[in-house]
């Protein structure tokens, strides 16, 4: 192409078409003229405009477009007309089917092609009939189009064509069946394997047959000299693996492994395929690598994670490479791209052993924050006492503290005393309050004196940490510390006291929590609402009812939940809460309704938020009586969003059975 | 003890929708249905860091917590792919250098000033690549040139400013370029740092491409590289970003997208320019001001 772009005149024509109002009168011929423009951009704009016209009717537009298809010598215009026709949908069907009977084979072929693009099942019968066209090119197009539109019938007809005397017909029949995802019986495909021209299409179809016998044929393709054939075989193996149960996968693996052993340069071939342009080929290469178990390919496998869609396959393949694969990854971590590193780190969680502690710690030094959490998790699974102290250090970092807490718990399963010692040391050094909780949980009763001491510490973070966990070790001590904490001057300590009181409950919990419900700090108030629900303090119901109207959505939602937990949710309060502007509050209402409240759920089927509608449908499906059926049905008809539709359909089915 | 169980919560279809809607409205990134698995994996570390027990709890945190803005940023950060490297898509860069540099030189001959923007620059490789191209072209030697790199992720911006890169970022960088534009990092044997004179040409900033107000702070640009960013956007977000980018370009300024992206069906805000080596887009000239442009 020359070094230029459209002229100003072209630009003007383009804009003129773009700016047309599709509701205008007499635009049909203007746009048809646009289809004949010398610039493809203008033609495209015209085709686009024709699909949006309000007059004449789409059927009439389609008929006019079909006439353009007949203009020999006007290739650009014909293609643009085809584009417009396929965009018109069902309305184009009639005129195109008529065109299938045109005297000119060229026109008939056009009709078949566009019907394929329309992809409407309604065209199946006419296309099947057109398979007996006298012109080979037409028949080929028809077979391919059947692959796009057809159903059961089309598949059977295409299967018959596999025995056609014309190789081209056999080819398009294979392609059609592949795109229909309706593979024929293996015995019908096997004879075609000898024809080199058909091989790639045969492979596509074989990939849809989840049987070891098909895998055998595909593996022959792996040794082909032609790259395209090898890649087709790999892609098909990927498709096949996705269709298989785990038992069948085992058989597939065995067949692939055998085949790879016979290939002298299998490793190099797989490495290359892992970098293929085509995603399907990469997916297939992963299947083959997993079968081979070749840990030396761990790095290129991890790099496939640059394609988000293949993440799942990458992780499962890495998992198959075992601890040796884990070592290869750990050694190469600095060289991996960011997505590959993320995948590698995640798979490491399952691949570590005691030898991994040092490299994992090294990785912690420089890994990105979101990866560090996973590295921490891996450390917890090394079953090595050496991991205890680095993990305790990580409690200090707010980003890793949560993960480190859990990892220490897991590690304590195999090396408890090392974990306790490292934690005690950290507490003595006042390293981080987070270590208190873990120590209490791992260390048990012997930690009590230490907890009492910490509850008087001058630093509120230590006081809060001790109050938070004491009750888990000993209820009596916990209650005593929690009571004192309720009057603490520091917010985190009061919140810890409230939480602990909620967990410990008791007949005086309601009275003790009362001031916290009016705390000057909204956070403490929110925690207090939850604690009332948890402790079963029904004497606080009136306070909660008032908070249901609170503009802070989180507070209102917590109150709804607490009331329903106490079993004290009245209709009036429910109705009030269902009008809260925050949909999360309304959803909480829905999880609290029963009996009388079902009418409320029915009214919420029209809520502006899809997730509220879905929740309402679910509630009605769960416990709605026959009287709800009609409104649920109506809602289903009106619903356009996928998830609420699902929930509504499910509800209709369940309610009908009652 | 249950508390120490290190298994991770699965994401229900509903949680997926809630989180994806939330992310979409914030930054235009549309996570497709088939990416639920990926979203789940990427957000696990966030749940872990916050101690959220499941994705519903995490969603509520994003809606209600006092720190929700910080967390939303972290969520978006872990969902976006930051994959990038130096001299990515060489044929486009070649076309840019050989065909657009002379035009830009002619066009800006009076002001002797050139501004390039790497929008969605990730860890900075693209922005530095542009600076290196400019440096290699002696024609802009004593001009006032600046490359501006922006991204929605603060974490990658930190990396961009540090300008230290490992082998993966350099996989398309020839030995010769490596020699001329990078220096070794003594503490890390596999890493190199971008030379100071190149670093001095590039500045970085935090910017959400969907943020109309924020974009007012970006100077008018001669060319914008916005490659492999909008692949995650849907049509309407893309339209919005394109409008904003167009507004930040001088009339006649160029927009370069990634090679798998195009503007078909996105309206007439840009015109298509066929270079010998590539297709690029251009903000139309003001009427009557077409001097020096390819025709
Ligand atoms: C795949 S990287 C592309 C980097 C570079 N342009 C290239 O092509 O090599 C995409 C980058 O776009 C950024 N991004 C995504 N959505 C964004 C938004 N709404 N505003 C700004 N940057 C965004 C991501 O954070 C990520 O770093």
Interval A325-376: pLDDT, tens: 999 999 998 888 888 988 999 898 888 889 899 999 988 887 777 778 889 9
Residue A4: pLDDT over 50: no
Tell me whether residues B41 and A41 touch, CB distance under 8 A.
Answer: no
Query: Cβ contacts (< 8 Å) between A304 and chain B: which residues?
Result: none
Q: Which residue has the higher pLDDT, A612 or B189?
A: A612
Q: How far apart are CA B291 and CA A69, in angstroms?
A: 41
Distance from CA of A372 to the nearest CA of B (A): 8
Distance from CA of A342 to the nearest CA of B (A): 9
Residue B30: pLDDT over 90: no
pLDDT digits (tens, 9 = 90+) for A466-509: 999 999 999 999 999 999 999 999 999 999 999 999 999 999 99
The set of protein residues with a Cβ atom below 6 angstroms from ligand 1 is: B 27-29, 80-84, 88, 120-122, 126, 151-153, 156, 208-210, 227-229, 258
Q: How far apart are CA B13 and CA A653, in angstroms?
A: 20
The stretch A75-79 carries a mean pLDDT of 91
Tell me whether residues B282 and A5 touch, CB distance under 8 A.
Answer: yes
DSSP string, B18-84: HHHHHHHHHH-B---GGGHHHHHHHHHHHHHHHT-SSHHHHHHHHHH-TTHHHHHHHHHHHHS----
Tell me whether residues A408 and B4 touch, CB distance under 8 A.
Answer: yes
Residue A5: pLDDT over 50: no
Q: How far apart are CA B181 and CA A636, in angstroms?
A: 63
Query: Cβ contacts (< 8 Å) between A584 and chain B: which residues?
Result: 60, 63-64
The stretch B196-219 carries a mean pLDDT of 91
Cα four-point dihedral sign B283, B288, B292, B295: positive
pLDDT of amino acid B254:
95
Query: Cβ contacts (< 8 Å) between B81 and chain A: which residues?
Result: 306, 308, 338-339
- Lowest mean per-residue pLDDT among A43-57, A152-166, B262-276: B262-276
Of B88, B151, B227, B238, which residue is the catalytic one?
Answer: B151
Tell me whether residues B14 and A614 touch, CB distance under 8 A.
Answer: yes
CA A2 to centroid of ligand 1, rounded, Å: 32
Alpha helices for A429-474 (secondary structure H)? 434-443, 448-454, 460-473
Mean pLDDT of chain A: 92
Structure tokens at B100: 């657009």
pLDDT of amino acid A259:
96
Residue A100: pLDDT over 50: yes
Enumerate residues 6+ apart whose C-beta is below 8 A from A100: A108, A111, A112, A115, A126, A127, A130
If pLDDT is split at 50, 70 and 90, which confidence band does B266 have? Answer: low
**Mutation choice for ligand 1 from B81, B148, B151, B202, CB with most ligand atoms inside 8 A:** B151
Q: How far apart are CA B147 and CA B127, in angstroms?
A: 6
B151 flagged as catalytic: yes
Strands B164-165 and B192-194: antiparallel
The stretch A259-275 carries a mean pLDDT of 95
**Mutation choice for ligand 1 from B85, B120, B217, CB with most ligand atoms inside 8 A:** B120
Q: Which residue has the higher pLDDT, A11 or A567?
A: A567
Enumerate residues 6+ apart whose C-beta is below 8 A from A201: A171, A174, A175, A178
pLDDT digits (tens, 9 = 90+) for A421-457: 999 999 989 999 999 999 998 988 988 999 999 999 9
ipTM over 0.85: no
If pLDDT is split at 50, 70 and 90, which confidence band does B1 have? Answer: very low
**Mutation choice for ligand 1 from B149, B229, B243, B244, CB with most ligand atoms inside 8 A:** B229
Beta strands in chain B (DSSP E): 113-119, 144-151, 164-165, 182-184, 192-194, 202-206, 221-226, 249-257, 271-274, 279-282
pLDDT digits (tens, 9 = 90+) for B65-105: 888 888 998 898 888 877 899 999 999 999 999 999 999 99
The residue whose C-alpha atom lies closest to atom 7 belonging to ligand 1 is B84
pLDDT of amino acid B267:
60
If pLDDT is split at 50, 70 and 90, which confidence band does A578 have? Answer: very high
For residue B106, give the nearest of B135, B145, B139, B144 by alpha carbon.
B139
> Above pLDDT 90, what percent of chain A?
76
Nearest CA in chain B to A7: B295
B65 flagged as catalytic: no
pLDDT digits (tens, 9 = 90+) for B48-66: 888 888 999 999 899 888 8
CA-based R_g, chain A, Å: 34
The torsion angle over the Cα atoms of residues A506, A508, A510 and A511, rounded to 10 degrees, is -170
The residue whose C-alpha atom lies closest to atom 5 belonging to ligand 1 is B121
Tell me whether residues A5 and B50 touch, CB distance under 8 A.
Answer: no
pLDDT digits (tens, 9 = 90+) for A25-68: 889 999 999 999 988 888 988 998 999 888 888 889 999 999 99
CA A221 to centroid of ligand 1, rounded, Å: 40
The stretch A206-231 carries a mean pLDDT of 94
Placement of tokens 């596509």 in the chain? A204
């Amino acid at each position: 192409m020359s070094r230029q772009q459209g002229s100003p005149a072209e630009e003007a024509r383009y804009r003129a078409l773009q700016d047309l109002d599709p509701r205008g009168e007499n635009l049909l011929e203007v746009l048809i003229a646009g289809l004949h423009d010398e610039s493809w951009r203008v033609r495209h704009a015209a085709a686009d405009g024709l699909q949006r016209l309000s007059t004449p009717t789409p059927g009439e537009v389609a008929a006019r477009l079909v006439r353009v298809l007949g203009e020999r010598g006007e290739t650009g215009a014909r293609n643009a007309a085809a584009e417009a026709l396929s965009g018109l949908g069902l309305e184009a069907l009639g005129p195109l089917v008529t065109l299938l009977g045109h005297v000119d084979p060229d026109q008939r072929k056009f009709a078949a092609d566009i019907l394929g693009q329309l992809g409407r099942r309604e065209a199946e019968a006419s296309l099947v009939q057109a398979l007996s066209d006298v012109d080979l090119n037409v028949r080929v197009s028809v077979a391919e189009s059947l692959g796009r539109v057809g159903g059961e019938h089309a598949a059977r007809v295409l299967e018959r064509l596999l025995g056609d005397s014309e190789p081209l017909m056999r080819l398009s029949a294979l392609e059609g069946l592949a795109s229909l995802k309706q593979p024929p019986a293996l015995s019908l495909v096997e004879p075609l394997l000898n024809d080199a021209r058909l091989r790639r299409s045969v492979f596509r179809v074989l990939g849809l047959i989840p049987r070891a016998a098909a895998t055998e044929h595909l593996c022959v393709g792996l040794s082909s000299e032609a790259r395209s054939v090898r890649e087709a075989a790999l892609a098909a193996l990927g498709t096949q693996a996705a269709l298989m149960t785990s038992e069948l996968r085992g058989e597939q693996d065995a067949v692939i492994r055998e085949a790879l052993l016979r290939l002298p340069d299998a490793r190099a071939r797989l490495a290359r395929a892992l970098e293929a342009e085509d995603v399907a080929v990469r997916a297939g290469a992963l299947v083959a690598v997993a079968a081979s178990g070749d840990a030396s390919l761990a790095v290129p496998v991890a790099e496939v994670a640059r394609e988000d869609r293949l993440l799942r396959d990458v992780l499962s393949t890495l998992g198959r490479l075992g601890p040796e694969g884990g070592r290869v990854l750990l050694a190469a971590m600095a060289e991996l791209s960011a997505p590959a590193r993320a995948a590698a780190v995640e798979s490491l969680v399952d691949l570590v052993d005691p030898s991994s502690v040092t490299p994992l710690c090294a990785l912690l030094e420089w890994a990105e924050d979101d990866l560090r959490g996973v590295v921490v998790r891996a450390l917890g699974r090394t079953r090595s006492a050496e991991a205890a102290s680095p993990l305790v250090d990580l409690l200090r970092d707010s980003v890793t503290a949560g993960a480190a807490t859990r990892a220490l718990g897991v590690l304590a399963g195999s090396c408890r005393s090392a974990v306790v010692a490292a934690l005690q040391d950290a507490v003595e050094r006042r390293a981080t309050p987070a270590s208190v909780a873990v120590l209490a949980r791992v260390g048990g009763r012997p930690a009590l004196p230490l907890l009492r001491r910490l509850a008087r510490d001058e630093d509120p973070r230590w006081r809060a940490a001790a109050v938070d966990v004491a009750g888990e070790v000993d209820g009596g001590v916990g209650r005593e510390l929690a009571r004192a904490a309720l009057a603490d001057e520091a917010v985190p300590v009061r919140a810890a006291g409230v939480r602990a009181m909620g967990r410990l409950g008791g007949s005086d919990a309601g009275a003790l929590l009362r001031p916290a419900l009016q705390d000057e700090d909204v956070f403490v108030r929110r925690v207090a609402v939850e604690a009332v629900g948890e402790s079963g303090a029904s004497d606080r119901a009136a306070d909660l009812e008032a908070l249901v109207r609170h503009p802070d959505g989180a507070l209102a939602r917590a109150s709804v939940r607490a009331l329903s937990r106490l079993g004290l949710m009245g209709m009036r309060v429910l109705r009030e809460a269902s009008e809260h502007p925050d949909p999360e509050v309304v959803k909480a209402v829905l999880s609290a309704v029963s009996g009388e409240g079902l009418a409320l759920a029915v009214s919420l089927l029209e809520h502006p938020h899809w997730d509220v509608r879905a929740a309402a449908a679910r509630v009605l499906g769960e416990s709605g009586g026959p009287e709800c059926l009609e409104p649920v049905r109506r809602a289903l008809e009106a619903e356009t969003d996928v998830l609420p539709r699902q929930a509504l359909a499910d509800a209709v089915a369940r309610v009908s059975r009652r | 003890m249950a508390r120490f169980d290190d298994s991770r919560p699965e994401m229900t279809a509903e949680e997926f929708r809630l989180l994806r809607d939330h992310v979409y409205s914030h930054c235009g990134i549309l996570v497709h249905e088939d990416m639920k698995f990926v979203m789940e994996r990427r957000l696990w570390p966030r749940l872990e860091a916050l101690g959220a027990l499941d994705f519903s709890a995490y969603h509520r945190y994003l809606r209600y917590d006092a720190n929700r803005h910080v967390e939303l940023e972290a969520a978006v950060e872990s969902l976006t792919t930051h994959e990038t490297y130096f001299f990515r898509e060489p044929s486009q860069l070649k076309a840019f250098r050989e065909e657009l540099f002379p035009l830009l030189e002619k066009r800006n001959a009076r002001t002797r000033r050139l501004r390039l923007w790497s929008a969605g620059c990730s860890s900075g490789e693209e922005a530095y690549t542009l600076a290196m191209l400019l440096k290699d072209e002696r024609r802009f030697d004593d001009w006032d040139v600046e490359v501006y790199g922006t991204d929605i992720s603060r974490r990658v911006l930190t990396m961009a400013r540090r300008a230290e890169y490992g082998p993966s970022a350099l996989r398309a960088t020839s030995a010769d370029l490596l020699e001329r534009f990078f220096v070794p990092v003594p503490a890390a044997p596999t890493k190199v740092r971008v030379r100071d004179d190149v670093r001095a040409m590039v500045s970085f900033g935090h910017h959400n491409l969907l943020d109309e107000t924020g974009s007012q702070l970006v100077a008018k640009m001669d060319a914008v590289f916005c490659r492999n960013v909008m692949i995650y956007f849907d049509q309407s977000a893309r339209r919005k970003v394109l409008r904003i980018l167009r507004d930040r370009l001088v009339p006649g300024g160029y927009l370069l997208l990634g090679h798998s992206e195009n503007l078909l069906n996105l309206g007439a805000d840009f015109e298509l320019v066929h270079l010998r080596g590539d297709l690029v887009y251009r903000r139309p000239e003001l009427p009557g001001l077409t001097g020096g442009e390819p025709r």
